[in-house]
Amino acid sequence: MWQAIHEELAPEGLAVITVAIDRSLDDPRPYVDSAGATHPSLVDTEHRVADLYNLVNVPTVLWIDETGRIVRPQDVHYVSNELASITKFHNRKPLAALRAWVRGKAPAYPGDVAADTKVADDTHQEARAAFAVAWWLSQHGRDDAAERWFVRAGELAPHDFTIRRGSMPIRGIDAAGPAFFEMVGDWAAKGNAYYLPLPDTATTADDYEVEPIDEMSLEALRRKIDSER
Amino acid sequence: MTTWTVIDEQRVHTIDPSAPGDMLVLDPSLLGWERKPEGLCRDEVCVPVPTDVPTGPIDAALLARLLQRPLAIDNNEHVAAFAASAVERAATLRSGMAPDFELPDVHGVLHRLSDFRGKKVVLYAYASW
């Protein structure tokens, strides 16, 4: 669905760049091809962009202006409402804000971008060092040692799901299975949110009244995911 | 003597350690850090170094402390990784300028973020997990 936004807003000066934080170029390619994407569809296997921009989960959206300035801090939204009944994210306000920004009708963010930018502390960067060791070990067949370092990375940065969930496929763990649900449940039980959308375009009840969504069952979602593999 | 793999922000170096045994002792110049009067310098960055730190090979953990960068070190597997310092990453993000990067697309073609200067950019990070 980013392809549709790309086609709509490219003539008005927008470049859509997607980045798949995945194990190899093979992982996102089927999805990108079936979406007919003509915008750059990048792959970040080494978690380089994750480190530079402190991306702790996906999806994450960043807006950058023509001069290379970040004009809206990390946000969470989906570009289509296909999964909205499951994700609880409605695209109405985020897409309206995106169009308004691109067309020069509104600023990208009502707040102070620098003040509201979340940065990593020393311990989090330690987690990234641990993840780099884990990744290298896993690429070289040293799975037991890799597993120890993936676990350590997750312990050092329990809020970093790019590390904790992103490492699951590498470790042979189903990232949509019981281990994932246990991890998220444990996180929520401690009073934490799994996603932190920016408040100005966060989903509210009126979104569903203005633009009703279709219900999608988890079973239908699984079928869709399998068909895209 | 086993060689070590030292990962320095995605650059992978294979290093012959300068000391026997399992500890990693290496010459900072192997990672691009040159000893100058100002301290240890790489590109435009210099970090001050106490004068009693020897030139030549030093313990990796000491090097990490001097550079104020985290170091993960596996003395059994002989793999170590330096990550970027939190201070450096935070300063870049809070400066407001989007850090440049170069990544392949799904067909292996490389792109840089800076290729898109002059356009508004939406960067959308997602994953199969």
Residue B45 lies in a domain: yes
Whether residue A70 contacts residue B93, with contact meaning beta carbons closer than 8 Å, is answered with yes
Per-residue pLDDT band at B13 (split at 50, 70, 90): very high
Question: What pTM was computed for the model?
Answer: 0.93
Residue B70 in any domain: the answer is yes
On whether residue B105 sits in a domain, the answer given is no
CB neighbourhood size of A90 (10 A): 25
Q: B83 in a domain, yes or no?
A: yes
Which residues of chain B are within 8 Å of residue A66 when distances are taken between CB atoms?
Answer: 117-120
Residues of B in contact with A3 (CB under 8 A): none
* Per-residue confidence (pLDDT) for residue B8, from 0 to 100: 94
**pLDDT tens, residue order, chain A (229 aa):** 799 999 999 999 999 999 999 999 999 999 899 999 999 999 999 999 999 999 999 999 999 999 999 999 999 999 889 889 988 999 999 999 999 999 999 999 999 999 999 999 999 999 999 999 999 999 999 999 999 999 999 999 999 999 999 999 999 999 999 999 999 999 999 999 999 999 999 999 999 999 999 888 878 887 877 776 6
**Domain contains B65:** yes
Tell me whether residue B95 is in a domain. Answer: no
Nearest by CB to A119, from B7, B94, B125: name it. B94
Chain A within 8 Å of B120 (Cβ-Cβ)?
yes
pLDDT value of residue A216: 84
What average pLDDT is seen over chain B? 92
**For the residues B5-10, what does the mean pLDDT come to?**
90
pLDDT at A228 (0 to 100): 65
Nearest CA of chain A to the CA of B75: how many Å?
A: 11
3-state secondary structure of A152: helix
In sequence order, the β-bridge partners of residue A19 are A42, B125
Q: Which residues have CB under 8 Å from A94's CB, separation 6+?
A: A61, A75, A77, A201
Asked, for residue B52, whether it belongs to a domain, the answer is yes
Q: Which 3 state secondary structure label does DSSP give B36?
A: strand
Q: Do A14 and B122 touch (CB under 8 A)?
A: yes
Structure tokens at A79: 């570009």
Instruction: Tell me chain A's radius of gyration from C-alpha atoms.
Output: 18
Nearest to A17 among B69, B106, B121 (CB): B121
Range of the domain at B35: 4-87
At B102 the three-state DSSP class reads: strand
Tell me if A167 sits within 8 A of A154, measured CB to CB: yes
Decide if A170 contacts A138 (C-beta within 8 A).
Answer: yes
Number of domains present in the structure of chain B: 1
Work out whether the CA dihedral B101, B103, B105, B111 comes out positive or negative.
positive
User: Is residue B20 in some structural domain?
Assistant: yes
CA distance A29 to A35: 10
